[in-house]
Amino acid sequence: MSVPAPHPPEFRRRAVELARERAKPIAELAKDLRISESCLRNWLAQAEADDAGSETRLSSAEKAELAQLRRDKRRLEMEVEVLKRAAAYFARENVLPN
């Protein structure tokens, strides 16, 4: 089973704009756009967090920064592991036989 491609950012922005106009109920607008109501509500909540900040939801910029920090952390952990193994290897080689 293949995963459908995500909606383009412009589509999301326009859907949020239409929802904010409140010309139609969210459920009807979501049906017209052929997306789920929960999807549209999530996009609205994320747009609110991006625009005004939120106590409970990270902004898109914060999410991107968090993802980058997690990638950096994984890379650094791997580098530390390589250095530990190299240090152990060289420590064993430098031991003089009795």
Residue 68 has a pLDDT of 97
Tokens of 91: 């420590």
Residue 53 has a pLDDT of 80
DSSP string, 3-46: PPPPPPHHHHHHHHHHHHHTSS-HHHHHHHHTS-HHHHHHHHHH
Domain boundaries, the chain: 1-57, 59-98
pLDDT tens digits for the chain (98 residues)?
Answer: 556 668 898 999 999 999 999 889 999 999 999 999 999 999 999 998 888 887 788 998 999 999 999 999 999 999 999 999 999 998 887 765 65
Q: How far apart are CA 13 and CA 44, in angstroms?
A: 9
Residue 96 has a pLDDT of 59
CATH fold group of domain 1-57? Arc Repressor Mutant, subunit A (1.10.10)
DSSP string, 49-91: HHHH--SSS--HHHHHHHHHHHHHHHHHHHHHHHHHHHHHHHH
Residue 43 has a pLDDT of 94
Please give the single-letter amino acid code of residue 57.
R
Residue 8's contacts (CB-CB under 8 Å, 6 or more residues apart) are none
Residue 69 has a pLDDT of 98
